[in-house]
Each structure stands twice: as C-alpha cells, then as structure tokens.
Amino acid sequence: MKKIRVFSGIQPSGDMHLGNYLGAVKQWVENQDKEKENFYCIVDLHAHTILRDAKELRDNIRSLAAMLFACGLDPNKSTVFIQSQVRAHAEACWLLNCVTPIGWLERMTQYKDKKEKLNSISAALLDYPVLQTGDIILYDANEVPIGEDQKQHVELARDIAQRFNNLFGETFVLPDPIIPSVGARVMNLSNPLSKMSKSFDEDESGVVGLLDDDNSILKTIKRAVTDSGNQIVFSNDKENAGVNNLLGIYKVITGKSSMQVEKDFANAKGYGVLKESVAELVLGIITPIRAKYKEYISDPQELDKLLEVGAENARTISEPKVSEMKERMGFI
Ligand code: AQP
C-alpha cells in the first residue's frame, strides 16, 4: 500500500519559537514513528518576501536546520531540505501563477494583515501562497501538518491543485491541512490576542524562543498577561485569553484532557502556580533541544551535507512532477 505522504515547511525568518514547536514541528517529529513518508522544508524563498538581509538569511537557514534536527527530525526518517536548493519549487510557482485568479490571493487573511503592517510590499508577498501550493503539491502530499494560521493557505493549495487538474487533467493529489487539536495557535504571552510569531511580533517580550536562556524564558512566562480574576479554567472570553493560552500550553505538553488540567489547578490560589508549572514544562522541553542544537550548529559542514542529501531526495520527486506539469500545459 502507498504510504501517506506528508509535507510541511517553516520559514528561516528568525529563531524558532514555542508556537512553531507546539503547533507544527512536534507533529512532524511524531509523524516519523508512523508509516508515513515525510518531507520537511526550510522555506527560504518564502522568508525573502519580507527579509532583506543576505547575511541574516544565511545564518537563519543554518540555525533553523540545526534546530529542526535538534527537535528530533531524523534525516534517516524524514527528507529535510532547503527550498531554494530544489529549483522545481520556483518553477512550479510560475506555472501555478498562470492558473491562479488574482482575487483568490487578495482574499488571503495573512496577506491583508501584513499589507497593513508594512510600508511597502513586494509582488512576492501576494504570491506567497502560490509558491506554498507548489511546495506541497509537487510531492503529492496527502497531509500538511501546520498551525491554525496556515489553514487558509492549504485550503487555497487544494483549490489551485483542483483548478490545474480541471484544466489539464489529473496531475495533483489534493492535500489536507492537519491541525493539532491543542497547540494550534500559541498566543504571544504579552499580548494574548495576537499569535506568537518569528518576524511579525511587535511584542517580542511575549515570545518564547527555543534559543532563549532559562532566565529569559522564566521571565517571559512569569510576566505573561493574565487577568484580574483568579479562576484557572479554559474559556473563550477575550479577557481570559492569557490564562487560556497558558492552560493550552500546559495541556499540549502534558497531554492531559481539559478536565484533568482544570483539576490540577482547582486549589491554586492565583495565577503564580499556573505560570510556574508552565515554565517548568517549557524548560523541560527546551533545555535538551538547546543542548542538541549546540552540537549541530558547531558543525556547519556536516549540517550542509545532511541538507544536500535531503535536497537530492526532494529533487528526485519534484523534478519529474514539474516536467509533467509542463508537458500537460503544452511546453515542449
Ligand atoms: N503561534 C503559533 N502557534 C502555533 N503554530 C504556529 N506556527 C507559527 N506560529 C504559530 C506554525 O509554525 C509553522 C511554521 O510557520 P512560519 O515559519 O510561518 O512561522 P511564523 O512564526 O509565523 O513565522 P513568521 O516569519 O512570523 O511568519 P508569518 O507571520 O508569515 O506566519 C507553520 O505550520 C505555522 O502554522
């Protein structure tokens, strides 16, 4: 039987944070123990829609690769590679641009949000979801494990793939977004109404970076915005967003049910206990990852070798696929 194929990506737009880990990368690592074929991509072409500094990008790419391996991606179980090293991605993007109505892109929430925040925007920012569509469908991915913020983009990828299939014949598998039931949207601890983000966080003091030291992580969590009440229960009220976020982090790390989580804090007086428990759990995850990261980042040549093996493997699948696209579209 054909294995389920999984594809997902992460931008080298800054240091990985707790949201990236709990929303996406944790699932990627867990997928390796299932009967699945895994492709995980450092989407550097995407990062350049915003990032402008060449040295920063170069450093970020290696740092993110070291971080992904440190989190547990195993080059023997997953194809881990850099997007720009596999040319089929950029080529597929152009071909898919030709079949994507511009209105579909202008409706994307992320594009609209970023447009508001930036002084000038590139054509690439609007085109971002088309490049992302190519990333996914070149591998005939069945599943795309992501945080909630990317759901709309994967749904668009399905629509673009379907449109291509309708126009030129069955070419692509339609991918499904796989979003974890908890941890899918980790919020900024200082501003719990906005998602934790690498490059777009106006409130950096609320971001838990995987490379932050223990003291700053403790500080970030202890300073987390809560509310004036003292009930430690899940709730969808805006006023309770901070407590909800901390409880969500606690829940995803412990794997407990919501009821069990609330029980754990039923007798707690004030939010201090919740913050301490969350900090302990977060440090328990990050400390060993940081130690492994230091090993990987200290050997850039070995890192590049691992990434080249990944790119080579990715090419064997994506190059024939892009050739098939071109043939179906009439290129000779
Ligand atoms: N706060 C989050 N909670 C849960 N999952 C999240 N993801 C991102 N933020 C959260 C998921 O992480 C994967 C990689 O996405 P990314 O590289 O786009 O991450 P980012 O931190 O959001 O990066 P940027 O540079 O700040 O980009 P924008 O603002 O463009 O997203 C994805 O699966 C994502 O869902």
Residues 311 and 289: their CA atoms lie apart, in Å, by: 24
- Cα-Cα-Cα-Cα torsion 129, 165, 84, 49, nearest 10 degrees, comes to -20
Place of tokens 């598998």: 173
0.85 surpassed by pTM = yes
Mean pLDDT per block of 10 residues along the chain (332 residues) reads: 94 95 96 95 95 91 98 97 98 98 97 91 96 98 96 98 98 97 92 88 85 96 88 90 96 96 92 96 97 97 97 98 98 96
| Ligand 1 mutation target, pool 18, 82, 121, 198, most atoms within 8 A of CB | 198
- Structure confidence by residue, pLDDT tens digits, 316-325: 999 999 999 9
Q: Is 230 helix (H, G, I), strand (E, B) or coil?
A: coil
pLDDT value at residue 200: 65
CA–CA distance, 178 with 109 (Å, rounded to integer): 19
Distance 329 CA to ligand 1 centre (A): 33
Domains of the chain in start order, with CATH, are 4-180+300-329 (3.40.50.620), 204-294 (1.10.240.10)
Catalytically active residues are: 114, 195, 198
CB atoms under 10 Å from CB of 318, counted, come to 24
Over the stretch 279-291, which tens digit does the pLDDT of each residue have? 999 999 999 999 9
Ligand 1 mean position to 307 CA, how many Å?
A: 22
Give pLDDT, residue 228: 75
